[in-house]
Amino acid sequence: MSTQHSRSAARLMISPSVILLLAWMIIPLSLTLYFSFLRYNLLMPGANPFVGFENYTYFLTDPAFFTALTNTLLLVGGVLVITIIGGVLLALLLDQPMWGQGIVRILVIAPFFVMPTVSALVWKNMFMNPVNGLFAYMAKAVGLQPFDFLAVAPLASIIVIVSWQWLPFATLILLTAMQSLDSERLEAAEMDGAGPFARFFYMVVPHLSRAITVVILIQTIFLLSIFAEILVTTNGGPGNASTNLTYLVYAQSLLQFDVGGGSAGGVVAIILANIVAIFLMRMIGKNLDA
Amino acid sequence: MGRITLDKVAKRFGEVEVIPPLDLTIEDGEFVVFVGPSGCGKSTLLRLIAGLEDVSGGEIRIDGQNATEMPPAKRGLAMVFQSYALYPHMTVRKNIAFPLKMAGMPEEEQKRRIDNAAKILNLTDYIDRRPGQLSGGQRQRVAIGRAIVREPAAFLFDEPLSNLDAALRVGMRLEITELHSRLKTTMIYVTHDQVEAMTMADKIVVLRAGHIEQVGSPLELYRTPRNVFVAGFIGSPKMNLIEGGEAGKHGCKTIGIRPEHISVSPTEGMWKGRVGVSEHLGSDTFFYVHETGLREDMTVRVSGEVEMKSGDTVYLTPDMDKLHRFDDAGLRLS
Amino acid sequence: MARAVSTNRKITVTVIAWSIGFLIFFPILWTILTSFKTEAEAIASPPSFLFFEWTTENYGIVMERSNYFLHFMNSVVISVGSTLIGLLIAVPAAWSMAFVPGKNTKNVLMWMLSTKMLPPVGVLIPIYLIFKNVGLLDTRTGLVIVLTLINLPIIIWMLYTYFKEIPVDILEAARMDGANLRNEIIYILTPMAVPGIASTMLLNIILAWNEAFWTLNLTAANAAPLTAFIASYSSPEGLFYAKLSAASTMAIAPILIMGWFSQKQLVRGLTFGAVK
């Protein structure tokens, strides 16, 4: 519903955004693609010969790649499971009548606003440190051996830290969705003889499905590229135990200065992210229509 | 001045032709109502005149000047929207001042016009409030106020009363009619309510599927509907349209008789039937009569209060002078 | 109809909720508390919770030893700058999509969102090399450019969902009232969308403030915002808990407060209006 005037104005006004995003996507992407076929190391200046798929073969057959891929999936999956289950439970709890609900909400949401480097460092040093950390002290207090979380279970520890950061987000969204559930509908279900569990599974969960979809979508975008948490806690180690794809590519390119290899890794990361993205876009696409 | 001429104006949305080429002239000072069922293209036609949509073909002239390519701001028309479309962040005064401000009018002249409009429309008491604090009727007045201060060539009303409750609607209807007789400015008014059309218009344009079915004064349309559609659309309750044998007797496809042109008798008449539901309005009584031997049930309107029970037998006699006859194509036979 | 709830139940729920809320908040609280301890007390065993000698010396030391103010200003400039530039580019785009939707509007929106899914590491090398060549590495300008681009899709989406709620009628009324496009946006759309624009701004400042991939990889001493500054504590220096805590508290406090104010908008913003 519009006129020629407004349509051409609209095209004009949207073009800066489109051009910028297009440039942001195409220029670096094509460069990455180009570099990925070169033998190109910043420490070895000189010609950068074309080497075909050598970098890819190298990257994909490197056992570190497989570890990193598994770690990425574990990290994303683990955090999603923890935050969604925790988020639903917390949202259910916070939806109950209580005193000081606003304050509890403020407390619960707070971790989301803490920058990744701070939360990683605080957890690493003040909680998980095997000598001076609070957990070590608690273990000693009950007569247990302190546990060096980041050395023994680095990936699990990082999952805990990241979950702490994202649980508030999931909770907040699920709580908002839950509050929009019509209480008359729940009362009708109760009149129809549905007990609390039946009400939860037949009324609340379906109502939340859209919100859960959104939580999965948004969190996956951010979780796929977790970086700072790994950098400041474990540096991907010990060995490759807590290296995800993002960190692996970073290490390859900016620590070993292997531009070619890092670019091949980047392309692989993009392809994998696209596979995930296709699923996610379908989900949000449906939500847009609704 | 506000003489608006549509010359072969057409509108397509993609492949869909919403308005096939149509011609229409609206004389200066006329109150014209576009009426038709929803989806008939009446609002689209209004938006074409306003300039909020491009025409797909044809020419729109305002006072002889070709306005087809003009943006809405340049056409000198004012519009009152169904939703009132008041600016929620501005007070009533600022709302009304906005078109004057856009026109770069001096402050003093702005103030004079606003005060004048406020007086005409009784807005003075809430001139410094915001739209959110006003009732539906008050918002409607503000929207009209915003339109009249500009002293436009013509007013465009897009179903302005449909968001009001019934009592208020009758009152506003009267106010708009009075406004018209005071300002004598061209008004184009879109509605789906044929009662509004009949009561307000100098000229009614009946639209269906983008086509103009008939143009005429309210009584012309009432007395001589050009076709079956107009016959059924104008008038309340609806005209009885009878097909089949009874119509054949009059040498046509369809005959029509308005409920108020049928006389009722308990003993004798042309069609015998049984009373179904009767509705008592006090001033009038409506009967719905079944089993008349005709294919259709009949609606009858009788003046005053008439006692008649469901199941009673009645005889109906149409007033032959007021009988409408239509041919196979649905067109009026005279 | 709200139902009367037994007081006992309400007490139970309150106690549980407050405990869980406290547990979740505890790491932040602990950081804040530790920042007021001496280094010795910070690692004392058993840890002292409230009964220690409160001191603000750590804040002084952090400010003195490092160029804290520079990093703080870097964070401010980068997050506010990228948000404002982003808004400037996004408002017209969102206007177009919300009020003059075409056949492709939805696809364009989806495409914009999809650029957000591009893993940053996939384009890290070219950006790094380009920045190195044109001298944008370790500059505020460079980071403002990158953060504007990575958050632009979110800004557009958020504005789009807010604009969608403004009835087209009102803009058309403005057009009928003689407003041209510029006046329509300045006098009608923008004032009506102020709440939406404000929350978009707030949320984007938060996201940019906490962004920790590009800020870590593209900066060194000069343009490093607080994220990168704090990361430098991952070296053994981080074992000075009280100073780490003081630096951390200063880094998160402004955004934590902003976040608390904007938690409602956060839901709408980050879910692209899909959850209300």
For C260, the closest of A1, A106, A265 (CB atoms) is A106
Nearest in space to B77 (alpha carbons), one of B3, B140, B164 = B3
- pLDDT at B111 (0 to 100): 92
- For residues C125 and C40, state if they share a domain: no
C261: domain CATH number is 1.10.3720.10
- pLDDT at C69 (0 to 100): 86
- For residues C97 and C24, state if they share a domain: no
- For residues C157 and C185, state if they share a domain: yes
Rounded to a whole number of angstroms, the distance from the CA of B123 to the nearest CA of chain A is 33
Residue C2 maps to a domain: no
The architecture of the domain spanning A54-289 is Orthogonal Bundle (1.10)
C-interface mutation test, from B102, B146, B156, most C Cβ less than 10 A away: B102
Quick check: B72 and C174 CB within 8 A? no
Residue C1 maps to a domain: no
Q: Cis omega before residue A97 (within 30°)?
A: no
- pLDDT at A76 (0 to 100): 93
For C192, the closest of B81, B83, B88 (CB atoms) is B88
- For residues C54 and C74, state if they share a domain: no
Quick check: C177 and B98 CB within 8 A? yes
DSSP symbols for chain C: -PPP--HHHHHHHHHHHHHHHHHHHHHHHHHHHHTTS-HHHHT-SSPPSS-S----HHHHHHHHHS-HHHHHHHHHHHHHHHHHHHHHHHHHHHHHHHHS--TTHHHHHHHHHHHHHS-HHHHHHHHHHHHHHHT-TT-HHHHHHHHHHHHHHHHHHHHHHHHHTS-HHHHHHHHHTT--HHHIIIIIIHHHTHHHHHHHHHHHHHHHHH--SHHHHH--TTT--HHHHHHGGGSGGGG-HHHHHHHHHHHHHHHHHHHHHTHHHHHHHHTTTS--
Chain A hits for B52, Cβ within 8 Å: 1, 3
The ipTM of this complex is 0.85
> Residue A30 pLDDT more than 60?
yes
Task: Residue C197: give the domain boundaries.
Answer: 67-270
- For residues C78 and C103, state if they share a domain: yes
Quick check: A4 and B54 CB within 8 A? yes
Rounded to a whole number of angstroms, the distance from the CA of A5 to the nearest CA of chain B is 8
Quick check: B79 and C167 CB within 8 A? no
Instruction: Provide the 3-class DSSP secondary structure of residue B258.
Output: coil
Judged by CB atoms within 8 Å, which residues 90-109 of C form the interface with A? 90, 92-93, 95-97, 99-100, 102, 106, 108
Strand order in the sheet with B262-265: B262-265, B313-318, B271-280, B284-290, B298-303
Residue C181: count of CB within 10 angstroms of its CB: 21
- pLDDT at B113 (0 to 100): 92
Q: What is the pLDDT of residues A150-190, one digit of tens each?
A: 888 899 999 999 999 999 989 988 988 888 877 777 778 77
The residue among B121 and C41 whose pLDDT is bigger is B121
What chain B residue is nearest to A4 in terms of C-alpha separation? B54
Rounded to a whole number of angstroms, the distance from the CA of B308 to the nearest CA of chain C is 47
Pick one of 3.40.50.300, 3.30.110.30, 3.30.70.100, 3.30.1330.10 as the CATH number of B4-227.
3.40.50.300
Number of A–C residue contacts, CB under 8 Å: 317
- For residues C161 and C250, state if they share a domain: yes
Using CB atoms within 10 A of its CB, is residue B281 exposed (0-12), middle (13-18) or buried (19+)? exposed
Rounded to a whole number of angstroms, the distance from the CA of B14 to the nearest CA of chain A is 11
Spans of chain B, pLDDT less than 70? 1
* Residue for token pair 């506003």: B172
| Interstrand relation of B65-66 and B57-62 (parallel, antiparallel or unpaired) | antiparallel
Give the pLDDT band of residue C27 (cuts 50, 70, 90): very high
Cα angle vertex A107, ends A103, A112, to 5°?
A: 135
C-interface mutation test, from B44, B62, B77, B81, most C Cβ less than 10 A away: B81
Cβ pair C269, C210 in contact under 8 A? no
Q: What is the pLDDT of residues A195-208, one digit of tens each?
A: 788 888 887 888 88
Provide the percentage of residues in chain C whose pLDDT is more than 90: 21
Residue C147 maps to a domain: yes
For C178, the closest of B50, B82, B103 (CB atoms) is B103
* pLDDT average, residue stretch A122-127: 87
Residue C104 maps to a domain: yes
Give the pLDDT band of residue C1 (cuts 50, 70, 90): very low
- pLDDT at A290 (0 to 100): 45
Number of B–C residue contacts, CB under 8 Å: 62
Domain residue spans of chain A: 54-289
Give the pLDDT band of residue C232 (cuts 50, 70, 90): confident
Cβ pair B207, B40 in contact under 8 A? yes
CB crowding A146-157: b at 16 or more within 10 Å, else e: bbbbbeebbbeb
- For residues C12 and C88, state if they share a domain: no
Q: What is the pLDDT of residues C75-116, one digit of tens each?
A: 999 999 999 999 999 999 998 898 888 888 888 888 887 788
DSSP H helices, chain B, are 42-50, 92-102, 107-121, 136-148, 166-183, 194-200, 218-223, 228-233, 245-249
- pLDDT at A82 (0 to 100): 96
Quick check: C178 and B85 CB within 8 A? no
Round the average pLDDT of chain C to a whole number and report it. 85
CA distance B152 to A232: 69
- For residues C29 and C106, state if they share a domain: no
Quick check: B72 and C188 CB within 8 A? no
Question: Where, residue-wise, is CATH 2.40.50.140 in chain B?
Answer: 237-333
- pLDDT at C162 (0 to 100): 87
Chain C hits for A1, Cβ within 8 Å: 168
* pLDDT average, residue stretch C154-177: 89
Q: Measuring CA to CA, how many Å separate B302 from each of B286, B287, B307, B316?
A: 6, 8, 11, 11
> Which CATH number is associated with domain B237-333?
2.40.50.140
A-interface mutation test, from C9, C34, C121, most A Cβ less than 10 A away: C121
- For residues C223 and C257, state if they share a domain: yes
The residue among C77 and A258 whose pLDDT is bigger is C77
- For residues C119 and C55, state if they share a domain: no
Question: Where, residue-wise, is CATH 3.40.50.300 in chain B?
Answer: 4-227
Cβ pair A170, A219 in contact under 8 A? yes
Which tokens sit at A65?
Answer: 């790649």
- pLDDT at C239 (0 to 100): 67
